[in-house]
Amino acid sequence: MEKSIENIWNEGFLNKECVVIPKLNNLYSQKSKHLIEKFKRMGKNNLYGIVIGATFMLLVSFFLKIPIIGSFFFLLLMLVVWVGKKQSDKLEELDISLNSYQYLKAFDAWLKKAISQYMKIFKFLYPLLFLAIILGTLYADMNPFLKERTIDKIMSDPDTYLLYGLPIFYLLPMGIFLILVTIFSGKLYLFDIGLIYGNIFRKLEETIADMEELQG
């Protein structure tokens, strides 16, 4: 009986002893392995980069005399690293005994779940990060580069309108900006990871589509 494409696929990817399509089997196995290993490597490098960048910003905050804001910013980024490490551990738990197609599907399912969880976290994290940046800009002591802090310059300007002692016309646009960041946090996160992992995401979709097409 003539073999169907599905039978050929199953033999090629489920049975290591099969020689019906060994080259195709090896091609997709190597492609799958390379794709996921590259993602893991980039993920680890990204976490290392966040740790280094956060530590540098923390040290700079002491120099600028805003250690509380710098520490807050540092802790927020460490939360990102902690969540990333937890997700990385879950990725390592995927069953490596699965065939190439099943493993890629399991990886794809893990990836979608991880992105969904990250989007929920960054809905609150992005506004807090931007708030820390705004406060740092206002209260940083840039001496000897500037004669006074930005907030001092604003408050000492006779043209500054104060409402309950607050420079409302400066705070209002900042508040609107933070609200917009909160609303569009999901799209902002997808844009961020797209810049870093976009090529891998496309190759993952293409590889899975190719495999499913072979399955018929």
pLDDT tens column, 68-115: 999 999 999 999 999 999 999 988 888 777 777 788 888 899 999 999
What number is the average pLDDT over the span 4-28?
A: 49
Which pLDDT belongs to residue 47?
94
CA gap 142, 159 in Å, rounded: 23
CA gap 15, 4 in Å, rounded: 16
Which of the two residues, 193 and 104, has the higher pLDDT score? 193
The mean pLDDT of the chain is 81
pLDDT at 13 over 60: no
Element (H, E) at 17: none
What number is the average pLDDT over the span 183-212?
A: 88
Which pLDDT belongs to residue 35?
83
Element (H, E) at 166: strand 166-167
What number is the average pLDDT over the span 153-174?
A: 78
CA gap 130, 100 in Å, rounded: 41
Strand partners, 167: 162
A 10 A CB-CB count for 23 gives 9
CA angle 193, 207, 28 (to 5 degrees): 125
CA gap 10, 108 in Å, rounded: 20
**Confidence bin at 159 (pLDDT 50/70/90):** confident
Q: Are 103 and 96 in contact (CB under 8 A)?
A: yes
